[in-house]
Amino acid sequence: MSRPTRHVFVCTQNRPPQHPRGSCAGSKGSTALLQAFWAEQQKRQTYEQVAVTYSGCLGPCDRGPNVLVYPEGVLYSGVTPDDVAEIFTSHLENGAPLERLIAAEEVW
Amino acid sequence: MSRPTRHVFVCTQNRPPQHPRGSCAGSKGSTALLQAFWAEQQKRQTYEQVAVTYSGCLGPCDRGPNVLVYPEGVLYSGVTPDDVAEIFTSHLENGAPLERLIAAEEVW
């Protein structure tokens, strides 16, 4: 891929169901979220401006699924597939982070 | 983790040995590279300033292992465990990207 304007990392860390920390891809369903980001990217054909990559643990597992956007370093928590279009329009395409999903200061 | 000054993503994408694209964790050995980054982080105790996370494919598989550092968006290719200390000292701690490992412009 070419160097993107914004790079989205979707946590797909997995842990067993009984693990006390939970995990974004285990108990929080981030695999569907990753697919939603990739589908939205395909729909909008934003391959030159936006990159979507899965990643390991981003920290606040109990508040996941977590999504991190660089270069701003904005961490989103509790993201669902229903939020993806809004994140694309507001942040990824227009540079305005989506305030309502930004992770709390104490975790990032 | 708290919000880091610099965030290192080490590609650990895996594909079967016979796959034509190869892969950072398959034919290129990036699992050992990731361990080297984590070990160096532990040695230097830079947990507040630096985050090290594994990621999915970053693009130029044939030149891997690939390592991406944000917020600068610097992509390194062909990184080995022997390069890790230098990347920490030069880029992660002092903000000077390591020119000799920066990926070619045509791939990033």
Asked if residue A48 is part of any domain, the answer here is yes
The whole model's pTM is what? 0.96
Residue A29 reports pLDDT greater than 80: yes
Q: How far apart are CA B108 and CA B93, in angstroms?
A: 23
Range of the domain at B49: 6-101
- Return the pLDDT at A1: 75
Cα dihedral A51, A52, A53, A56, rounded to 10, equals 120
**Per DSSP, what are the bridge partners of residue A10?**
A54, A67
Distance from CA of A67 to the nearest CA of B (A): 13
Looking at beta carbons, which residues of chain A come within 8 Å of B71?
Answer: 70-73
- Return the pLDDT at A73: 98
How far are the Cα atoms of A74, A86, B23, B27, B63 from residue B18, in angstroms, in the given order? Answer: 38, 40, 10, 9, 16
Q: How far apart are CA A5 and CA A1, in angstroms?
A: 12
* Structural tokens at position A3: 């160097």
The candidate with the shortest Cα–Cα distance to A107, out of A53, A68, A55, A51, is A68
Tell me whether residues B73 and A70 touch, CB distance under 8 A: yes
Q: Can you give the CATH number for the domain in which B35 is found? A: 3.40.30.10
Chain A, window 71-100: residues with a beta carbon less than 8 angstroms from a chain B beta carbon: 71-73, 75
Tell me whether residues A53 and B53 touch, CB distance under 8 A: no
A49, A4 Cβ separation under 8 angstroms: yes
**Strand A6-11 with A67-70, pairing:** antiparallel
Q: How far apart are CA A103 and CA B78, in angstroms?
A: 34
Number of domains in chain A: 1
- Return the pLDDT at A45: 97
Asked if residue A31 is part of any domain, the answer here is yes
Residue range A100-107: mean pLDDT, rounded: 95
Which element (helix H / strand E) includes B85? helix B84-87
Least confident piece of the model among A13-22, A78-87, B5-14, B67-76: A13-22
Residue range A21-30: mean pLDDT, rounded: 92
- Return the pLDDT at B1: 75
Instruction: Give pLDDT tens digits along chain B (108 positions).
Output: 789 999 999 999 999 988 988 999 998 999 999 999 999 999 999 999 999 999 999 999 999 999 999 999 999 999 999 999 999 999 999 999 999 999 999 999
Looking at beta carbons, which residues of chain B come within 8 Å of A75?
Answer: 3
Average pLDDT of chain A to the nearest whole number: 96
Q: How far apart are CA A62 and CA B20, in angstroms?
A: 39
Chain A, window 16-75: residues with a beta carbon less than 8 angstroms from a chain B beta carbon: 53-59, 68, 70-73, 75
Asked if residue A25 is part of any domain, the answer here is yes
Asked if residue B66 is part of any domain, the answer here is yes
Distance from CA of A3 to the nearest CA of B (A): 5
Kindly identify which residue of chain B lies nearest to residue A61, measuring between CA atoms. B1
Residue range A33-61: mean pLDDT, rounded: 97
Kindly identify which residue of chain A lies nearest to residue B55, measuring between CA atoms. A55
The candidate with the shortest Cα–Cα distance to B3, out of A70, A98, A27, is A70
Asked if residue A49 is part of any domain, the answer here is yes
φ/ψ of B61, rounded to 5, equals -55, -40
Asked if residue B108 is part of any domain, the answer here is no
Confidence of residue A65 (pLDDT cuts 50, 70, 90): very high
